[in-house]
Structure 1
Amino acid sequence: MDQLLRRRDVERICAISRATLYRYIKKNVFPRPIRIGSGSVRWRLSDVVKWMEDASDLLSSLKGEIFTFIKKEYIKNDYDYDGYDQGEAT
């Protein structure tokens, strides 16, 4: 059986506020909780872990694209570019 997490545990684990949590749920970016009673909800640990893994994968894939874009903007706008690529000195 999957462990169930309280809202404050989800907020702490994911390092997000209550407002952000519910905003993500409203935008279908975060898993919806399950109701366990009148006014009580819980999140499945497996759903939260999967969301965190997916978010990590997305950020990793975007990292290279973001730095490439920044580098191109520096070159295009004739800024001084010190040879930094993806956060590391060359």
Structure 2
Amino acid sequence: MADDIEQKIKSYRTAPFDARFPNTNQTRNCYQNYLDFHRCSKALSAKDQDVTPCQWYQRVYKSICPMSWVAKWDEGIEDGSFPGKI
């Protein structure tokens, strides 16, 4: 299964369609994938497991989100003012 995930990550080109976000506005999709990446990383790190599967979420949010948003969210996580629940 790990090989299958690694293969998907290597052949990744752009964010695939996500039925949870069918509208043109992809703001919520961006934010949700950002949260999912950090939640996944936190959960797997706590169990001392490989966080490679979490890279999928990271690639999706990096292809959808404006980098200025990501930088602001990263700063919020660092200083403890991020509004999302990770």
Q: TM-score, with normalisation over the residues of structure 1?
A: 0.32
Q: Which has the higher helix share?
A: 2
Higher RCO, Cα 8 Å, sep 6+? 2
TM score, norm. by length of structure 2: 0.34
More strand by share: 1
Q: If you compute each CA radius of gyration, which structure gives the higher value, 1 or 2?
A: 1
